[in-house]
Each structure stands twice: as C-alpha cells, then as structure tokens.
Amino acid sequence: MTIVPEGVEHDGMGGLRGSNLRGVRAHNERLVLSLLRSRGEMTKAELTRVTGLSAQTVSVIMRALEDDGLICRGQPLRGRIGQPSVPLGLAREGAFSLGLKVGHRSLDLVLVDFLGGIRSRVTERHHYPTPDAVVRFANSAVADILSQIGAEERARIAGLGIAMPFQIWDWWRTLGVPEEALIDWRERNIGAEIGAATGFPVYVQNDATAACGAELLFGHGHTPRDFLYFYVGYFIGGGIVLNGSLVPGRTGNAGAIGSMPVPDGRGGQAVLLDIASLSVLERTLGAADEAADRLWDTPSEWHFPQALVEAWADEAARAIAAASAAAAAVYDFEACLVDGWMPVRIRTLLVERVRVHLAEIPASGIRLPLIEAGTIGAHARSLGAASLPLSARFLLDLQAFASAGAS
C-alpha cells in the first residue's frame, strides 16, 4: 500500500496529483516546491499538467510562493507561438537551514541555502564526542554563523538538523576510550538542549541515513528510484531508498549495513564496519608511523603512502561488494551508491574495485545491482542534517527525511 499525504492523490501512473479542495493549500504548495526541487524550473502550464491542479490554483500558489521569496522567475522561453512562457524555480536565498554533523572524530556545522549550497561552515576535531562538547560547539558555531549574516537571512532559517550516530555509548571499545567517557549519551537529549539555547526547531537523524537523504535531495544527475547507499566514514553506514523515498525504518536505523556479516578475506567472517571503515585505515596508517589524524582534515586530497590506501580500498571494496550482493537477495535494488569522507579519486578507485569484486560473486537467481559513486562527497552528513528542516517545512513526505520532529 502506498501512503500519500492528505490533499495529494496518485494519478494512476506513479506520479502525484494535487487537490483543489479548500484547506489543503499547504500540501499543494509543498507539492509545487517539491516538483521544482526535483525537476528544476517549470512553467505554470507544466505544473498544471503534472499536478492535475487547475490553472487558477497553480497561479495562486505560484504567486504566493513568489511573494514569500521562495521561488523566482527564470528567463522567458521564446521561439514558441504566443507569449513566451516564464519558468519559475526555487530561489536560492528563499530559505536557509543549519546542519550539524556529530562524527566520531569531528564536528561540523553548516549553513545551506534552499538549493543545498554551503554558505558557511565551522568545524572542530576531537578524539571522541561528548554531549557537553557537542552542545558547546553547536551553540558557539550557530552564534558565529548568525553573526555573519543579515537579519533577513536569519529570519529565513528553517531550523537546525542534527546527523549523528545512534547509540554512541555502545562504541567505546571500538573508539578505544573508557566506557564511562560515553555513558552520558544514554541520558542526554542534545537536540532539546541545542534547541532551547538557539531557539531553532531541531530535527535529529542517524548520520548515514541523513547522508543518504542528502544524496536524494541534493544529488546531481540521475538518482535511481531504489538504491542502497553506503557512506564510508569513521564507521561505514548506510541508507535505503525505495520508490524515490528515504526509508528511515521503525527505529530510524534502517540501512545499518555496518553490522552486516561479510567474508573477511581469510576464510572467516567479520562485520562490514570492521573492514570497510576509515577507522581501519586510521589504524593502518598509525601502525606505519603516518600522521593518521590528518585523515580527518577536509579530504580534498590525501598525502599518505599510495600502497597503504590502495590495499585498504581493495579490502573495503571486497566487503562492500559482498554486502551489496547479500542486500540484492533481500530486495532487488537498482543500484548501490558509494560515497564517503575521502577524496574524489579515492572514491572513484573504491567504486571501481567494488565493481570488480561484485562481478566475481555468484549471482544465481538474483540480479546484482549497479555500483555507482555518490555525488555529494565528504559533506553528505552535514548536508543531510541541513536537509531535515527544509524538508519538514517546505517539501512533501516529511517522514521520508526526518526520523524525529521538531523538539
């Protein structure tokens, strides 16, 4: 069964149609904004045809959205009979959003515009995250960013999203810290604390799921309707997209592929995160007396011994290929997208090696997915966090992006 928001119905051909009923204007505005988000500029005639709304209703909606500064006019389309059509698209400065990434090795706060462009960014590295440090960083970074923009831009900030690992307290062994160092995470609600301090509505989502949401909302080029997403960070994580919508799952932890058993390459088994995570590369670099902490600088390029990086990438790719094949036996995903905190050339190498190893796996009775690179890159988790308030306030299918509502 397909569930659609109130005031929106299916057109029988897999598309969404709007409703002209009184009292559902918010849904119809979201429908128009969502179409402009996914398809780019559209004319009134195109929106009327795609949504099934009356031309008068579309005109009223577009006029209201333009008056609110959420959409803007493009260049007239000439060369046709009659008056030239004027397409409208999302206004880059129509809305802004804050996104906080809580990572195992770093914190990142970004201000993004309505099109997903990063306007400002504040980062901080750490050995491991604590609630006190995260709240202190978030409040300071928000104040810093707000001081750099005008009152009108501040008024257009939709809220603050947080992308963070769930159940952080369970990872003390892997992080190599005392259990009590992370125990405060059990009781603290940093979303509520940051919301109270900043005054913004706050939305919280698993970090890898948020990265997947960024790919869905801000990704470039063709995005498959159904795909499994791998994000290679300190720990590898993932997300699931079905029929064009992010699937957070019952507890918001769907796509937790890091816990999936895979061959360890030596005749035994391990879980995916123990092979395909950057924490593995960090330990390898440290054992070779390399400055492993440089791994957590913004990864425009890595200056590490090529042989060490390539050996890690090949082992990671073998494990990701095994996980991709196993997932294909559960659901016939069109593709698996691979992204992560790494330079583009390393991501390209990783994707190529996954393709090679996947081709070696017997696939009787299943169709193996395509392996493609993600398009967001290192900042996918931060952008995913920032997408949560934008989706909650302006776009259809709130549950496809936010696993927790405003605090």
Tell me the pLDDT tens digit for each residue of 92-122: 999 999 999 999 999 999 999 999 999 999 9
- Residues ≥6 apart with Cβ < 8 Å to 282: 234, 292, 295
**Fold held by 96-211+381-400:** Nucleotidyltransferase; domain 5 (3.30.420)
| Band of residue 297 on the pLDDT scale cut at 50, 70, 90 | confident
Q: pLDDT at position 400, please?
A: 37
Neighbours of 56 (CB within 10 A): 10
Q: Which of 4-13, 30-39, 187-196 is predicted least confidently? A: 4-13
Tell me the pLDDT tens digit for each residue of 247-282: 999 888 899 999 999 999 889 999 999 999 999 999
Nearest in space to 225 (alpha carbons), one of 74, 369, 394: 369
User: Considering Cα of 215, then 216, then 220, then 225, what sign does the dihedral take?
Assistant: positive
Across the chain, what does the average pLDDT equal? 88
Q: Looking at residues 346-361, what average pLDDT do you find?
A: 97
Tokens describing residue 142: 């928000």
Q: Looking at residues 133-158, what average pLDDT do you find?
A: 96
Q: Looking at residues 21-45, what average pLDDT do you find?
A: 81
Report the range out of 34-38, 300-304, 306-310 with the highest average pLDDT.
306-310
Q: pLDDT at position 407, please?
A: 40
| Band of residue 20 on the pLDDT scale cut at 50, 70, 90 | very low
Q: Where are the domains of the chain?
A: 8-90, 96-211+381-400, 222-374
Q: pLDDT at position 38, please?
A: 86
Q: Looking at residues 53-73, what average pLDDT do you find?
A: 93
Q: Round to whole Å and give the CA distance between 205 and 119.
A: 22
- If one compares 369 and 168, the residue with the highest pLDDT of the two is 369
Share of the chain above pLDDT 90, in %: 73
Q: Round to whole Å and give the CA distance between 133 and 103.
A: 12
- What pTM, to 2 d.p., does this model score? 0.87
Query: Quick check: 239 pLDDT over 80?
Result: yes
Query: Quick check: 398 pLDDT over 80?
Result: no
Q: Select the CATH number that applies to the domain covering 8-90 from these four: 1.10.10.10, 1.10.357.10, 1.20.1260.10, 3.30.750.24.
A: 1.10.10.10
- If one compares 204 and 173, the residue with the highest pLDDT of the two is 204
Nearest in space to 217 (alpha carbons), one of 25, 402, 3: 402
Task: Please tell me if the domain spanning 8-90 has the same topology as the one spanning 222-374.
Answer: no
Phi, psi of 130 (to 5 degrees): -125, 150
Tell me the pLDDT tens digit for each residue of 191-203: 999 999 999 999 9
Q: pLDDT at position 12, please?
A: 38
- Residues ≥6 apart with Cβ < 8 Å to 307: none
Query: Quick check: 307 pLDDT over 50?
Result: yes
Q: pLDDT at position 399, please?
A: 38
| Band of residue 176 on the pLDDT scale cut at 50, 70, 90 | confident
Share of the chain above pLDDT 70, in %: 89
Query: Quick check: 229 pLDDT over 60?
Result: yes
Q: Round to whole Å and give the CA distance between 262 and 180.
A: 31
Q: Which of 126-140, 307-321, 386-400 is predicted least confidently? A: 386-400
Query: Quick check: 312 pLDDT over 70?
Result: yes
Q: Looking at residues 154-167, what average pLDDT do you find?
A: 95
Phi, psi of 108 (to 5 degrees): -150, 125
Decide: 252 and 232 in contact? Cβ < 8 Å: no
Nearest in space to 203 (alpha carbons), one of 235, 234, 157: 157
| Band of residue 18 on the pLDDT scale cut at 50, 70, 90 | low
Query: Quick check: 357 pLDDT over 50?
Result: yes
Neighbours of 139 (CB within 10 A): 15
**Fold held by 222-374:** Nucleotidyltransferase; domain 5 (3.30.420)
Give the DSSP H or E segment for 232: strand 227-232
| Band of residue 298 on the pLDDT scale cut at 50, 70, 90 | confident
Output DSSP code: residue 379. T
